[in-house]
Amino acid sequence: MEASEDDLRRAWFRREILPLESELKAYAVRFCRSGSAEAEDLIHESFARAIAYANWRSIDNPAGFVKRVMKNVALDTARG
């Protein structure tokens, strides 16, 4: 049985993005004034945007990509 596009996307996310969680926590703290809860929210929103990205197959640098997503989420939140 052939894997569906969603299955492939989830496998990519588990392999390439989830292992970055510790690194992303340290990065998220830079953007958060309120502490760890706000940082966790930032990580979760970044993960949601990363897994929903339509062109996920074209990403050559997953760490750079998700950090850019996180920065954009932080800027969106600050604009409020």
Q: What is the CATH number of the domain that holds 51?
A: 1.10.1740
pLDDT computed for residue 75 by the predictor: 92
What pLDDT does 17 receive? 97
Range of the domain at 39: 5-79
Q: What pTM, to 2 d.p., does this model score?
A: 0.88
Q: According to the model, what pLDDT value does residue 34 have?
A: 72
Q: Which residues of the chain have pLDDT under 70?
A: none
The alpha helices in 1-80, defined as continuous H runs, are: 5-12, 21-29, 36-52, 62-79
Q: What is the pLDDT of residue 49?
A: 97
Report the b/e string of 8-28 with b at 16+ CB within 10 A. ebeebbeebbeebeeebeebb
| Domain total of the chain | 1
